[in-house]
Chains A and B, each alone.
Chain A
Amino acid sequence: VSFWRKLRGLFPSQRAAQEREMQEELESLKAIAGKNELGNLTRVAEDARETWRWNWLETLWQDIRYSARTLRKSPGFTIIAIVVLSLGIGLNLTFLQLINVVFLKPLPVRDPETLVLVNIQNTFGSLTIAAMDELQQNTDVFSATIRSLYLPFDRQVTWQGAPTDTLNAFFVSANWFEELGIQPLRGRLFNDSGFNNADAPPVAVISERYWESRLGKDPSIVGTQVRLNNRPVTIIGIVPRNRGSLQGGREPHVWLPLAQVDYVFSGSRVAAEPTATGRLYGRLRSEISRAEARARLHAVVDRLPGTDLRFGHENHVDLLQASKRFRSPAATIGIWKIIGVCLPFTLLILVITCANLANLVLSRGVGRMHELRIRAALGAARSRIIRYLLAETASLATLAACGALVFAYWGVRLAAFVGSDLFQTDLSFDWRTGAFAILSTVVATAGVGLLPAWTIGKRNLALGSGDGGHQISTGLDRVRQRQILLAAQVAGSCLLLVVAALLLRTLQQMLVPPGFEYENVIVAEQLWRDKAPAFWSNLRQKLDQDPAVESVALFRHAPLQREERVERLESNSRVKFIRTPVEPEFFRVLRIPFLEGKPFSAADAGKQPIVLSKSLATQVYGATSAIGRPFADVGLVVGVVEDAHLTSPEAYEWPEVYTPLRETDYGGMLVKPRARSDAPRLVLEITQTMQNLNARVPSVRLLEADFADRVRGTKILAAILFSLAALALIVSCMGIFGTVSYNVALRRREIGIRVALGARHGSVVLLMIEQLVWPVSMAMIAGIIGGVIVARIFEANGGRFSPPDTPTMTLAALTVLMAVAFSCIVPTLRVLRSSNSRVLSS
């Protein structure tokens, strides 16, 4: 009862009514009672009011209004504080929001618990339409199945015959939208099994994004006939954004019934192309467990044509759940690893941001002793002053949280843009984001405000009433917390900078060109190995006759695809190397230049010729020539080539030992087309030739695609880490500058006296710096050691870090030193420059 009455008391009209009633009652009693019998009625009324009002709420409101006024009066401090805190909170919010959209938000489909993706590992994650048909017909584990087919990038459809306006086409089974519970934005979607027939009238639905961005939201588009690949097709509806596709990557522009693949791409075998990604999803029957369904599917898959077991895996059929966003357990672990590396870093930034601001607020509080003392003298209780100081921080934190939401809004979109897999995820904020934001505001308020408020509030504010609070200020100035906070801040900044600098070094190494030409090279692989030598010789013969082919080279492991098997020299275990069996033409196809010697040739047979990479040769033989020298018992060096990142583009070691390829090692072929424009056509031709040779599913692709695949993850990580490092630098410098310059400002009086007594400006500056030497240098050493330890921990947890080196450390230390010196010297000079009498009288 009392709560609701108090709540009502917050409304002005209610409040006035209650007030009127009380005054009336007191008046009436005054008439009844004897003179002075009722005592001080004003006081009585004030006490009574408390019963229907929340006094604490009203004083809180006063505090907030007052703190808003104070903050407005010092815009410099306010803006710095809000910006820094926004960055600190925003970064964490971005990260939490990413975790939210990747892990917590459910996939926007109907019943995600029962929907599974049939993932067959040995077919490069894709199925042909025939294989999907066969699987579907031979299994009874699903109550319904839906299918989709994504075509490779170069198989976009043209819109209205314009060769430049190409669309991503997504072919789906007729029950796709219905099973996923997707409602059209306009018109209708395919929901009739009649669309499963190839002779059904050709229809398509388009994405909301395409409709908005390219068709100008044309309301009459539904029902019109357009030409896709010059084939008439009727647009029947629009799919709302972020729906309609269950896989990451490019969002489809247009959805077509699966049965119309041959109509749209007439006369081609586009659906059978190995790069087309067909996917089969099913709704598990409720009475069948996932394990049982997997076992039954396994039996069917074994009988499927064109499926070779790559490594004899036991579990080559996997059912990935929609509720886990079709992520395999391994992928989930991978994402958690990235989070595990980044989250501590972002939290560290927040902690240091809070420490920075706490220091600033404390310094500011010292400067405001006069004002606080007046409040105390007017009767403000200590708790009230603490509360007021906290209200100030809370206002800052709330504004910062708003800034952080803006930051996170763009941050998540940036992350989604860089990591294209996230593009189709629904990135919008939800209640969890709100909860994160509120939580971080509370945490930031506590982290920033509690210590200063407590330190200032617990001082005896009545003291020093005669000197304008100077005595207390000096007292506070000496408190150990300030020293500790300053040291902690410098140490933290140093730590962040060391980690950031190491990250940047790592990135720098990642961005080095791979050392071989990955453009305009085709990789052809065959996973089935018996009779391989004959197969590859046949293929080579055929390709040698093709005028479009410049050269071919066989290899054992495709570049960028192989698993590293690092060996060590017996005589010197520090020398690591990887054996890479290749044909001599390999170097020519990939344009890896020879520094010394020549490729192995038939003439070398019998003496185990090998070719070393430059860094390995330098490591083993130093500046002397390696040619003709034995490399342990591996072979005799006949050539030295430039380093090439064959394992992965971001590797920072290149210990390659190229050995001649034996027939039994044949694993695949590199094909160099004469002209770049020939490449796409050659891919298809080679696929065709390989299929004709043994009718198995080959993998023919551009090496460029492999390269893009391999660097994508690194690029995402690099972008994230780079922004983190930049933020760390900004926050550190701002924090140090703020604190040190406030420190100097507090000592204006002392500086004034020294100058008045004849001290030279230079010596005053030196004095200011001198006092920082000890805490700062100790903190810097601690920070650098801490940074190295953190880097080691990251590295141990799967992060990739370049080893800590002297230039990096020196750079980080110099940056901090410069920030400290700058923030000490500039304000000191400002004080010195201002008129001395003004300084003393202030």
Chain B
Amino acid sequence: MLVLKTLVMEPLHGYGIAKAIHSSSNESIAIEFGSLYPALKRLEQKGWIDSKWEISEQNRRAKYYRLTAAGKKHLHQEHSEWQEFASAITRVMGGPSAAKK
């Protein structure tokens, strides 16, 4: 989900995705490239992302990944599921204080 979310804004190459997640989570989530790369391949297999060779800002050739329509749909679905789950957790965690009132 994180990878898909990162690609919503712009297409990125493998290393760029890792960096983007790292920075957008205020450096609290660090994904090792060793886990990220096979994950990218799996997402590509499922047809949620697409890849293309492009020239990077450093003027080097790199494979850029972008979100596909199916990927967008999936992200949307997963996002709402996550929100539901997260809010449920929040409710449970905040539960005792609510009961006291």
Contact residues of A with B, CB < 8 Å? 1-2, 5, 25-26, 28-29, 31-33, 37-40, 43-44, 47-48, 50-52
CB of B47 within 8 A of CB of A1, answer yes
Question: Quick one: which of B26-81 are within 8 Å of A by CB?
Answer: 32-34, 37-38, 41-42, 44-47, 56, 58, 60-63
CB of B63 within 8 A of CB of A38, answer no
CB of A38 within 8 A of CB of B38, answer no
Q: Using A28-B60, A32-B13, A38-B15 as known contacts, say yes or no to A2 and B37 having CB atoms under 8 A apart.
A: no
11 A-B pairs with C-beta separation under 8 A: A25-B63, A28-B62, A29-B33, A29-B62, A32-B13, A38-B34, A39-B32, A39-B33, A44-B34, A44-B37, A47-B38
In the complex, what residue of chain B is closest to A32 when comparing beta carbons?
A: B15
Per the bound structure, the CA–CA distance linking A33 and B13 in Å amounts to 11
In the complex, what residue of chain B is closest to A26 when comparing beta carbons?
A: B37
* Given A25-B62, A37-B15, A51-B41, 14 more pairs with CB closer than 8 A: A1-B46, A26-B37, A28-B61, A28-B62, A29-B13, A32-B15, A32-B56, A32-B62, A38-B33, A40-B34, A43-B34, A44-B38, A50-B38, A51-B38
Q: How many residues of B contact A (CB 8 A)?
A: 20
In the bound complex, residues from chain A placing their C-beta under 8 Å from that of B38 are: 44, 47-48, 50-51
CB of B15 within 8 A of CB of A29, answer yes
Chain B nearest Cβ from A18, distance in angstroms: 10
CB of A25 within 8 A of CB of B34, answer no
Q: Using A32-B13, A32-B58, A33-B15 as known contacts, say yes or no to A47 and B46 having CB atoms under 8 A apart.
A: no
> B14 in the interface, Cβ–Cβ < 8 Å?
yes
Chain B nearest Cβ from A407, distance in angstroms: 45
Q: Taking chain B's interface residues, is the majority helix, strand, or loop, or is none over half, making it mixed?
A: helix
Q: Using A29-B15, A32-B13 as known contacts, say yes or no to A39 and B34 having CB atoms under 8 A apart.
A: yes
Chain A nearest Cβ from B56, distance in angstroms: 6
In the bound complex, residues from chain A placing their C-beta under 8 Å from that of B42 are: 51
In the bound complex, residues from chain A placing their C-beta under 8 Å from that of B33 are: 29, 33, 37-39, 44
Chain B nearest Cβ from A52, distance in angstroms: 7
CB of B46 within 8 A of CB of A29, answer no
Per the bound structure, the CA–CA distance linking A339 and B14 in Å amounts to 67
In the bound complex, residues from chain A placing their C-beta under 8 Å from that of B46 are: 1-2
In the bound complex, residues from chain B placing their C-beta under 8 Å from that of A43 are: 34
CB of B37 within 8 A of CB of A28, answer no
Chain B nearest Cβ from A401, distance in angstroms: 35
Per the bound structure, the CA–CA distance linking A48 and B41 in Å amounts to 6
Q: Using A39-B32, A43-B34, A44-B33 as known contacts, say yes or no to A29 and B14 having CB atoms under 8 A apart.
A: yes
In the complex, what residue of chain B is closest to A37 when comparing beta carbons?
A: B33
In the bound complex, residues from chain A placing their C-beta under 8 Å from that of B15 are: 29, 32-33, 37-38
Per the bound structure, the CA–CA distance linking A44 and B46 in Å amounts to 19
In the bound complex, residues from chain A placing their C-beta under 8 Å from that of B47 are: 1
Q: Using A39-B33, A47-B34, A48-B38 as known contacts, say yes or no to A2 and B62 having CB atoms under 8 A apart.
A: no
Per the bound structure, the CA–CA distance linking A40 and B56 in Å amounts to 23
In the bound complex, residues from chain B placing their C-beta under 8 Å from that of A25 are: 14, 62-63
Q: Using A25-B14, A32-B58, A43-B34 as known contacts, say yes or no to A5 and B41 having CB atoms under 8 A apart.
A: no
CB of A52 within 8 A of CB of B34, answer no
Per the bound structure, the CA–CA distance linking A5 and B45 in Å amounts to 7
In the complex, what residue of chain A is closest to B48 when comparing beta carbons?
A: A1
In the bound complex, residues from chain A placing their C-beta under 8 Å from that of B14 are: 25, 29
Per the bound structure, the CA–CA distance linking A38 and B56 in Å amounts to 18
In the bound complex, residues from chain A placing their C-beta under 8 Å from that of B37 are: 26, 44, 47-48
In the bound complex, residues from chain A placing their C-beta under 8 Å from that of B56 are: 32
CB of A1 within 8 A of CB of B61, answer no
In the bound complex, residues from chain B placing their C-beta under 8 Å from that of A39 are: 32-34
In the complex, what residue of chain A is closest to B33 when comparing beta carbons?
A: A38
Per the bound structure, the CA–CA distance linking A414 and B68 in Å amounts to 64
Return the 8 tightest CB-CB contacts between A and B, nearest first: A47-B38, A51-B41, A2-B45, A38-B33, A25-B63, A39-B34, A1-B47, A33-B15
